[in-house]
Homo-oligomer: A and B are copies of this chain.
């Protein structure tokens, strides 16, 4: 069914966001485009690994890139991507408001 395709697309979209490094990349690009050399300074992972994460996110269409000399500049492809992350953080905030959830999260 066609709805199953949408469900799969939605799951794949979330999969792309389901990694700390990739959340950090989104946050890094939140305020504007950045080259890889700038992103990597905020990430404490290896360059090749960052490149892989960027590749995953670009394939999924969350980010875009252009070349500028030897640098590659990345940017968030759709502002609505930020809204998704924001919405998740809103739920997390509500959960943490419920005190009994805190221990579960911090383990």
Where the two chains meet, the residues of A that have a C-beta atom closer than 8 Å to any C-beta of B are 4-15, 17-20, 22-24, 27, 59, 61-62, 77-78, 80-81, 83-92, 94-95, 101, 104-106
A61 and B23: CB pair below 8 A? no
Cβ-closest 8 pairs across A and B: A15-B18, A14-B18, A14-B17, A84-B87, A80-B91, A87-B87, A11-B20, A18-B18
* Residues of chain B within 8 A of A90, CB atoms compared: 80, 83
Q: Which of B4, B11, B20 contacts A7 (CB 8 A)?
A: B20
Q: Could you list 17 examples of A-B contacts with CB < 8 Å? A: A5-B106, A7-B27, A9-B92, A9-B105, A10-B85, A10-B88, A11-B23, A13-B88, A13-B92, A14-B88, A61-B95, A61-B104, A62-B91, A78-B94, A80-B94, A83-B87, A83-B90
Q: How many of these chains are in the complex?
A: 2
Shortest A6–chain B CB gap in Å is: 7
* Residues of chain B within 8 A of A6, CB atoms compared: 89, 92
